[in-house]
Amino acid sequence: MKFEKLAEQPCSISRSLVIFGDRWTLAIIKQAFARNRRFEEFLEALEISRALLSNRLNRLVEAKVLERIAYESNRVRHEYRLTQSGLDLYPVLQAIRQWGDVYLAPDGPPMLYQHRECGGLIQVELSCSRCPETPTARDVEVAPGPGMSAHRSV
């Protein structure tokens, strides 16, 4: 199966991989959360080619994760700001960071993400919508959702 065909799968994880499934896209989103907004800021922070950065920014704008906003200078240029869809990716990045802190940081977390109000460390935890349990992968079973019947009728 070609990578782009994942977008046609009846699976939200597979569909999301089409947008976020390369090494640079999440790195760009991470930089957007670090308040980098301009092309040159992304370029300097990531040290990638202009063409690759342009391609990924355009993809994220098309997916409505970032929005392109014109600003004035000597000529019109653009800033890239997270949309609500992009802001909703914060727990995803934090889950990746949390995993990396456990498995890829033998000397301890390189950065601490702390709650401004109380100083507590930010943690991502799964929860059940019905009970107070914190389920693990072994506690979850997958069942068809409403989008599956729409997929099958096509």
- Residues 82-88, mean pLDDT to the nearest whole number: 98
Sorted by where each starts, the structural domains of the chain and their CATH numbers stand as 1-87 (1.10.10.10), 89-140 (no CATH)
Neighbours of 132 (CB within 10 A): 6
Per residue in 62-78, pLDDT (tens digit) is 999 999 999 876 888 89
DSSP character string of 72-131: -SSS-EEEEEE-HHHHTTHHHHHHHHHHHHHHS-TT--SS--B-TTT-PBP------SSS
Q: What is the pTM of this model?
A: 0.85
Q: Residue 90: pLDDT above 90?
A: yes
Q: Is the pLDDT of residue 36 over 80?
A: yes
pLDDT at 117: 97
